[in-house]
Each structure stands twice: as C-alpha cells, then as structure tokens.
Amino acid sequence: MIGFHKSLFQFVKDNAEIESVVGDRIYHEWAPQNVKAWPLLVFTNTSGQEFAGDMDAPNDAKIDQLNYQFDLYARSSLEAVEGSEIVNSVLRNLRGTIGTVAIQHVELSNVQHLGEQVGDKQVRRVSLDYAFWFNTVEA
C-alpha cells in the first residue's frame, strides 16, 4: 500500500483542478484541529492491501485493488458539492502511470452528503468512496 498511497497522495497534491478547490489543504486520515481555511480534502484507505508484487505464478493477474474514501469539507453544502464534483471528475477518469503504479480502473462506489458539528460551527462534507485497480510499475 505504501507505493500506491504515496503515488496517489502526490498525484492529488499536484493536480491543478483539485488545487483550485482546496489549495494545499489535503490531509491523510484527518484534518488538523482548529482549521481556519476551507474547503479541505481528507483521504484514507478504507480497505485492501497490495499483494500483486508478491505474485509469482504465471496466471496471477498481478493487479491489486484498494478502496479509498475522499472527504471534501466545506462551510456550505453548495461549496462541498461543487468541490466534490471537481474531485470526482479528476479521480473517476484517472488512468495510466502515477508515481510507481499504473492505474487500470477507478470506480466510484458511494457518495454521501453529510453535515457535522465542529465546536460551535457546522461543516458540510461530501464523502466519495472509490475502488482503485492498479499494478506496480517495474523500475
């Protein structure tokens, strides 16, 4: 997962469309407390593990599948929905080599529109759940 995770994180950080929505406010697993700037993007691996590199049999597919959740947090529902649509347009069309992995297929499996209370403030969140199919690129 390290190779995929690092490659995906770098891709998301370097993507101009995602940066236009969240700037450099991209975090793994959770955002820092007392965030002052919005919107922001949090992503985490929700299931799966890289195994394909260890497969040696000639008929092994050598393709791994990992699931990630991307949460777009914003101050308003409209901002969260619009931002998540941009993130989705980037991720759902992701194919080819990023870092040390070759993305074969991406599937959006779930979308949720949620509200949260953070201290005395309300925050809107859109959660996007993806399955990524990929294989490791030989160096």
CATH of the domain at 90: 3.30.2000.30
**1-38 confidence digits (pLDDT tens):** 568 989 999 999 999 999 999 999 999 888 888 888 89
Let me know if residue 128 belongs to a domain.
Answer: yes
Q: How many domains does the chain have?
A: 1
* Residue length of the chain: 139
State the residue range of the domain holding 113: 2-51+62-136
Residues of the chain with pLDDT > 90: what percent?
Answer: 62
Q: Are strands 121-136 and 64-74 parallel, antiparallel or unpaired?
A: antiparallel
> What mean pLDDT do residues 82-88 have?
97
Query: What pLDDT score does 118 carry?
Result: 61
Evaluate whether residue 57 is within a structural domain. Answer: no
What are the beta bridge partners of residue 99?
Answer: none
Task: With CA atoms as reference, report the closest residue to 66 among 87, 50, 53.
Answer: 50
Q: With respect to residue 56, please indicate whether it lies within any of the assigned structural domains.
A: no
**Rounded-to-integer distance, Cα 91 and Cα 105, Å:** 10
Asked if residue 106 is part of any domain, the answer here is yes
